[in-house]
Structure 1
């Protein structure tokens, strides 16, 4: 099993999918407890939701599950949200705070280093390669990090999460017009709610690659699974009816990012 799959397109837009993979090495799967084996914290069906929304996009997808190693966490293990409940680089609890490993089966430092080398690093090497290729072709690259999560998880946040959670780390990871356009489209989407830089301000991928002054723009979109799944529990079935309502708004966001990218390309000095 290759750790990452890449589908190359000819536009300036790259979609990254760090949490849709469900593969685990047999020895890791067998070390999980019954709760862990449900893989409940997967970004279920996000790859299907975004499929073929706009032409020419490049897609970088992690094939491994986030319980092996989280491709959207700082490889140093440093928390992205100090002082708040969250899961770690190699999670030992789920989003509800419950253990996912059998007793004495949690990964040790050597395991974590191996997972970094074999999975986390190849995923980000693929992103870096595609950003370089796309920027070389267009003078600018836009990385859109695709995520989803259950709408109610008391361990991580209070109340009900908005449907659209846009993260730009306080406006520093992309051009202002990209942030504004994305927020405007989501705020005008009838029957949906949105927030900009709320509980989810962008993970390590967005924060690490977003360098608008260098022509690389990054933005994270965390969707609530209630917006496109039949239910936020197993089997996490895709709702065609809900998806057909949501997809046009996502298409508008992606098209706006492509359109704004041309004006956001760095100008060469004379």
Structure 2
């Protein structure tokens, strides 16, 4: 199976889904332990949550599990959050620091090189091509990187994660009006909590592509899974009422961002 699926549209917004994939090559599946095969850290149903919210949107969707290789990590292996706990380019553990590989079958350097070439690079080649195409149409492109994570993970952060975690690397990856409008819409929801550039400031994708001076703006949205799932343990199903409410808010965000693009074009 191809490592990435692209659906092209003519909107100025591109949705990226690096962590929704659940496919496992046989040479990976055979080496994962029981915990690893649960794929616990998948961004469950995020692509469904965003489906149909913005007419003409382009989507770039990974098919392989993040346990094969993490598409939101620097290919050099440099940590996104120096001094903080996090998983690596090829995760060895879950976000709870529980091993996911069978003893003695952990990934080696040749595995990293192979999956960089066959999964990580093709995904980012496709994403780069879509950014260039959309920017050529509109004069600017907005990359909206779609993520989710469990709301309680003591190994990564204290307490309960806010529902909306907006990441712009301190405002470096997008125009101020895009950041402000996203924050405004999230904060307008009285039944949800929001943080800007908190524990999740934007991963490698957001930081790598988001250069407003070139006409490419990037925002990472990390959603606490309890905001739209029935539970954060298997079977990780969508909650009908929660997900419906989240879709309303996310639709407002995406449509507002698309509407701001004309203001981003420099004469």
Q: Distance in 1 between matches of 2:36 and 2:262?
A: 44
Aligned to 1:224: 224
SS at match of 1:113: helix
Aligned to 2:58: 58
Matched, 1:261 2:267: no
Q: Distance in 2 between matches of 1:110 and 1:30?
A: 17
Matched, 1:88 2:88: yes
Deviation at 1:240, TM superposition (A): 1.5
Q: Distance in 1 between matches of 2:20 and 2:107?
A: 21
Aligned to 2:21: 21
Deviations 1:33-82 (A, max 9, x none): 11111000000000100000010100000100000000000000000000
Deviations 1:117-174 (A, max 9, x none): 0000000000000001000111100000000000000000000000000000000000
1:228-239 paired onto structure 2 within 5 Å:
228-239=228-239
- Shift >2 Å, 4+ stretches: none
SS at match of 1:218: strand
CA RMSD for the aligned pairs?
0.6
Aligned to 1:49: 49
TM-score under structure 2 length normalisation:
0.99
TM-score under structure 1 length normalisation:
0.98
1:175-194 paired onto structure 2 within 5 Å:
175-194=175-194
Q: Distance in 1 between matches of 2:3 and 2:183?
A: 33
Q: Distance in 2 between matches of 1:33 and 1:146?
A: 28
Deviation at 1:263, TM superposition (A): 0.5
Deviation at 1:2, TM superposition (A): 0.4
Q: Distance in 2 between matches of 1:142 and 1:209?
A: 10
Deviation at 1:266, TM superposition (A): 2.9
Deviations 1:170-206 (A, max 9, x none): 0000000000000010011120000000000000000
Aligned to 2:5: 5
Q: Distance in 1 between matches of 2:37 and 2:225?
A: 20
Aligned to 1:252: 252
Q: Distance in 2 between matches of 1:262 and 1:217?
A: 13
Aligned to 1:125: 125
Aligned to 2:35: 35
Aligned to 2:108: 108
Gap runs ≥5 in structure 2: none
Q: Distance in 2 between matches of 1:63 and 1:14?
A: 17
Q: Distance in 1 between matches of 2:262 and 2:212?
A: 12
Q: Distance in 2 between matches of 1:44 and 1:225?
A: 8
Aligned to 2:215: 215
Q: Distance in 2 between matches of 1:104 and 1:138?
A: 51
Matched, 1:157 2:157: yes
Deviation at 1:29, TM superposition (A): 0.7
SS at match of 2:128: helix
Query: 8 Å contact 1:17–1:47 — kept in the other structure?
Result: yes
